[in-house]
Amino acid sequence: LSPMISICRKEEYSMSDRHEYKSVFAPYITAFLKIKSAVISNTAVYGHTLKQWDDAMLLNKRSELYVTKEMVCDWEKSLYHTSERTSYTKYAQLIQFLKYLCRLGIECYVPRIPKRPSNTYIPYVYTHDDITRIFAAIDEAELSRPTPKSCLMCMPCLFRLLYATGMRISEALSIKNEDIDFSNNFIILRKTKNNKERIIPMNVSLKEVLMQYIKYRDLVPIDGISNPDRYLFVSGLGKPFSANTPYTFFKRILGKCGIHHRGKNEGPRVHDLRHTFAVHTLHRMSSEDVDLYAGLPILSVMLGHASVRETEWYLRLTREFYPEIIDKMSVTTGGIFPELDKNNMYHGKGN
């Protein structure tokens, strides 16, 4: 099923926050984030939002262990100059925290979540030539100056894993050593968006890349770096890292490849590797005469979608690139899948 192109690479690697909360809500924020970390791999975004809450409470000398509408307004002032989508996300995160306080018996005013802003982002689908050039640029990347915190040794393997499997960056960074089964050629994803574990198959090429990465990673003089409960992708200090690190690195790589980055929230993005995986997989299935109606549910499971309808959206996305896929699909499905409104075709991070 995976569209993995040859991902062999040279055998040399070169060696890529915690907030402090001080308000009366500090211990509750810490406890909330600990609970969140059990179900999502990256709590940094929650940490940043609650740091803004913590700072607002200190700035306005709020020492009461309850939440009023005025206190929420104090926090709202810190959201000025942020986009509608960012504000919406921060509201959703704060509301979760306030509901957590309510369950603990702390009286709280819980604001109504704003209307979700429309998403006009059109995913970027990398061509096969783009992917080849991206991998070459990643393999040739070097550090401007040596630093033990560098995560550069992870990048060739990490980005090949993303393209070859379609997993989300948060899912890839949550993988631990014990989640990889080289004997049976699969990876278990335990921390996923829908909180449902899933198994990702490995083909020979991906298996070789993972084994090569682990071989060099284990040479790093860090005690227990290869222990089953340690993370697969770590810095030179043996510690896991957030998604911001590969995001920043990937943006530089796109520049080296001549792929224009249109700006923040405009892309191309790391997440577009997931869209590219889906489109390239459908194209490969089509070229090998696989019954797309039968293959679509398999792709849906591999992507971790809640329903085939989410995956069917990728068929619409491929129309511009591979129109013959739609023709083949229509032969087997007829009018089962309705046309989507082009102005509302992208469902955001749900994919």
pLDDT in tens, 244-303: 999 999 999 999 999 987 766 667 989 999 999 988 988 888 788 877 777 888 888 888
Amino acid 67 reads V
Q: Is the pLDDT of residue 160 over 90?
A: yes
201 membership: H or E segment, kind and range: strand 198-201
Position 6 pLDDT exceeds 50: no
Task: Output the six-digit token pair for 14.
Answer: 């070169």
Which of 215-242 are b and which e, b meaning 16 or more Cβ less than 10 Å from the residue's Cβ? eebeebebeebeeeebbbbbbbebebbb
* Of 276, 278, 296, 292, the residue nearest 325 (C-alpha): 292
Please tell me the distance from the alpha carbon of residue 242 to that of residue 44, in angstroms, as a whole number: 8
Q: Where do we find the tokens 């997440």?
A: 271
Task: Tell me the per-residue pLDDT of 72-128, one tens digit each, with 9 for 90 and over.
Answer: 999 998 887 777 778 888 999 999 999 999 999 999 999 988 887 766 567 888 999
Supply the pLDDT for residue 73: 93
Contacts of 84 (CB under 8 A, 6+ apart): 114, 117
Dihedral sign from CA coordinates of 204, 205, 210, 212? positive
Q: Report the Cα 182 to chain-centroid distance in Å.
A: 24
Q: Edge-to-edge, what's the strand order for the sheet holding 186-189?
A: 180-181, 186-189, 198-201
Q: Which two tokens stand for residue 315?
A: 């068929």
pLDDT higher than threshold 70 for residue 343: no
Tell me which residue has tokens 């089953």.
Answer: 228
DSSP label at 182?
T
Residue with structure tokens 């109606």? Answer: 293
Spatial distance between the Cα atoms of 102 and 80, rounded to a whole number of angstroms: 27
